[in-house]
């Protein structure tokens, strides 16, 4: 599978990119896509952190693969900017 580098956060990712809402053209990683969507919805950084923390709490109680959990944690770090 092709590995892409996100121009926004610099992380590498695989699979389908998200389209940046900034210019509707730049391909960014799915994590940044989520973050931009949240920013677009007017969700502040505190709320974002709260949402991500809850997502991690939920995922730790369900069967989640390591990769998914690592992605959640990465989004959480990004949201803490
Ligand atoms: Zn990114």
Find the 34 Cα to ligand 1 centroid distance in Å: 9
Q: How far is the CA of 29 from the centre of ligand 1 (A)?
A: 4
Q: How many domains does the chain have?
A: 2
Domain that holds residue 80: 43-81
State the pLDDT at residue 12: 94
Instruction: Tell whether 32 and 48 lie within a shared domain.
Output: no
Higher pLDDT among residues 65 and 74, named by residue: 74
Residues 10 and 38 in one domain: yes
Same domain flag for 28 and 55: no
Q: How would you classify residue 19: left for phi > 0, otherwise alpha for psi between -120 and 50, otherwise beta?
A: beta
d(CA 18, CA 7): 12
Both 32 and 50 in one domain: the answer is no
Do 11 and 34 fall into the same domain?
Answer: yes
The answer, as to whether pTM is greater than 0.75, is no
Tens digit of each residue's pLDDT (9 = 90 or more) over 42-72: 777 667 777 777 776 655 655 555 666 677 7
Q: Clarify whether residues 7 and 31 are in a common domain.
A: yes
| Alpha-carbon gap, residue 42 to 59, rounded angstroms | 25
């Amino acid at each position: 599978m092709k590995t892409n580098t996100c121009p926004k956060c610099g992380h590498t990712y695989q699979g389908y990119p998200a389209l940046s809402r900034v210019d509707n053209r730049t391909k960014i990683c799915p994590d940044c896509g989520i973050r931009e969507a949240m920013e677009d919805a007017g969700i502040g950084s505190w709320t974002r952190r709260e949402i991500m923390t809850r997502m991690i709490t939920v995922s730790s109680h369900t069967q989640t693969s390591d990769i998914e959990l690592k992605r959640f944690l990465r989004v959480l770090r990004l949201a803490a900017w």
